[in-house]
Amino acid sequence: MTALHRPVLWLALAILGLPLAAGAAPPTSVDGVPIDPEAELVVALTDDTTNLDPRIGMGSIRSNYIRQIFESLVDVDRQGRPVPGLALSWKPVNDLTWEFVLRRGVTFHDGEPFNADTVLFNLDRMFRKNLDKWGIKDVAAGTAFDKVYPFVTRWEKVDDYTVRVHTSEPSATLWDFLGREPLVPRAWTIKHGVEALNDKPVGTGPWKLVAWKRKDHMAFERNDGYWGGPTLAKRLRLQVIPEAAARIAALRAGQVHLVEAVPPLDAEVLGKTSTIRVASSVQKLACRIYLNGRTKDAYESGGKDGAFADPRVRMALNLAVNREAIIAKIFHGLALANASPVATVAYGYAAQPPYPYDPARAKALLAEAGVSAAQPLTLQLLLPAKHYGQAFDETVGAVVEMLKAVGVQVTVQTLDFGTLLQTLTKGTLPPNGGFAACRTSNNLDADDFVRDWATTTLVNWTPYPPELLALYQSTRRQVDAKKRLAALAELQQRVRDWAPVVSLYQEKKAYAHSARVLQFVPTQELNMDFRGVALRR
């Protein structure tokens, strides 16, 4: 069994383990503890979603809502591993074709059957094909599949429960980037229009949307016909409480059962409270300082070399950062240092030696690269304050002082996130510019992370040199899983040494819940999963 086919093994194990008893009565106890299957689970989230159509985007806020209603071909287990969702299995049938075998007997909340036609319709939407044929509008999509994955050429129905997707070049990660996209109903969407997906849509998921009071709450009811067995609470309420202190107060008052995004210091305090439990999980959110390392012949360089084109300079900046101190003092342990460009919880991650905190070596490297008192290194750092949270802002402040300590002249320009994106879109980052930002992923595979320096994306200010680009491209085309993992590991090691960004930290997200809540396990994905969560009677 190759590593690529490990997901298939997990699928099989999951199928055996899953209670495939749609319509069965929910249990009344968990591990001998009586639970209330008629209860309402109230969860406090930081924000409301602005829409529910998966095509518009699957960011961290949207995902929490969308994935309760809609499901994708590939699901994720509590350890973050791919398991069967709406597809029972997936495999390459040759170098240029993937085959998905679909789950039978699944219906959307309105009774519409899920089958190969559903998948073809969704692929048409993703790749903007046949929209006129279906009579539906296009939407301004978060991910333009036709641009990002132009090698996906066509898709076909083999039978009602088998779909094949063809590519013009081998694609090792097709199961991931197509398989993780939530699927909407075909007939319902054609009948009601794509706009209706933003109002009260139907999916195949464990929860049926009952009511949505915008900026306030979304109410769900158990989908009794769910293929994965009944959920352990009858109702779910996702309550928006933007302010962290108010979320925690609501938890303490017993008015919500579970809260997300607990600030690190509060997590420490709450952990000592007998009636409250704290849980955390490593997330894919990687926070970094991106540097202008575009050479003058690169796109949008303005004819000037970026001040950070020399890898020694970027490595020096990495060595100047004391990550251990940041994680201990600012995050109280709720973050981790990761020198790999890939999140530690992504498929294909290969651990890399951490960047040591070595200011002396940093200064030496800068001197080697020609930085001196006469020719100092300056960095105009753009900081989207209050966008990623207080800990991020504090971290950047600390890092600025650390960089100054090795002689880098840093000026910080605080701006709103929209202005930062506009600067990056226009390509007007100054030659000595950089920006602090975090990126996450909706995919399981490492490819989404290592793609950052391969195309003209907003975050790519240090494009791969030709040899790394070639290595990256080989990881995308290598269908043999073992060889691909080896290539990915080599790429990560070389990217770590090439240091395109100043790696800051990878987030651990903290949750707090009442002791009544049983079996809550935070996922490593962008969404929370309430399928196995129960409330003690």
Instruction: Provide the minimum distance between the beta carbon of 294 and other proteins in the complex, in angstroms, as a whole number.
Output: 14
Q: How far is CA 394 from CA 248, 281, 449, in A?
A: 22, 21, 25
100: part of which helix (H) or strand (E)? Answer: strand 97-102
- The sign of the CA dihedral 365, 299, 296, 422 is negative
Q: What six digits make up the tokens of 328? A: 């201990």
Q: Which residues pair with 536 in a beta bridge?
A: 35
- Which residues touch 452 (CB under 8 Å, ≥6 apart)? 341, 439, 459, 460, 500
Closest CA to 438 of 52, 60, 53: 60
Shortest gap between Cβ of 415 and other proteins (angstroms)? 10
Compare residues 59 and 532 and give the one whose CB is closer to other proteins: 59
Q: How far is residue 199 from each of residues 66, 86, 111, measured CA to CA in Å?
A: 12, 23, 18
Q: State in angstroms the smallest separation of the CB of 164 from other proteins.
A: 27
Compare residues 280 and 503 and give the one whose CB is closer to other proteins: 503
Tell me how far, at minimum, the Cβ of 277 lies from other proteins, in Å. Answer: 18
Choice between 316 and 383, CB closer to other proteins = 383
What's the min distance (Å) between Cβ of 273 and other proteins? 12
Instruction: Say what angle helices 359-368 and 311-319 make with each other, to 10 degrees.
Output: 160
Q: Are strands 501-514 and 258-259 parallel, antiparallel or unpaired?
A: antiparallel
The alpha-carbon radius of gyration of the chain (Å, integer) is 24
Which candidate, 434, 411, 398, 266, places its Cα nearest to that of 323?
398
- Assign 513 to helix, strand or coil: strand
Would you say 207 or 290 has its CB closer to other proteins? 290
Question: Which residues contact residue 455 at a Cβ distance below 8 angstroms, ignoring those fewer than 6 apart?
Answer: none
Comparison of 75 and 452: residue with beta carbon closer to other proteins? 452
Least distance CB 192 / other proteins (angstroms): 14
Q: Work out whether strand 97-102 and strand 162-167 pair parallel, antiparallel, or are unpaired.
A: antiparallel
Output 252 or 332, the one with its CB closest to other proteins: 252
- For residue 465, give the DSSP letter: P
Cβ nearer to other proteins, comparing 424 with 504: 424
Nearer to other proteins, 320 or 396 (CB): 396
CB of 438 to other proteins, least distance (A): 9
By C-beta, is 109 or 439 nearer to other proteins?
Answer: 439
- Lookup result for tokens 């002396």: 360
Binding site for other proteins (CB under 8 A): 44, 47, 50-51, 56-57, 59, 138-144, 147-148, 195, 198, 213-217, 239-243, 245-246, 249-250, 252-255, 416-419, 421-422, 424-425, 427, 437, 439, 448, 451-452, 455-459
CB of 1 to other proteins, least distance (A): 32
Structure tokens, 307: 């001040």
Query: What is the rounded CA–CA span in Å between residue 286 and residue 437?
Result: 8
How near is the Cβ of 240 to other proteins at its closest, in Å?
Answer: 6
Residues 446/342, Cβ–Cβ less than 8 Å: yes
CB 489 → other proteins: shortest distance, Å?
Answer: 22
What separation, in Å, do the N-terminal and C-terminal C-alpha atoms of the chain show? 44
Residue 48 or 71: the one with the smaller Cβ distance to other proteins is 48
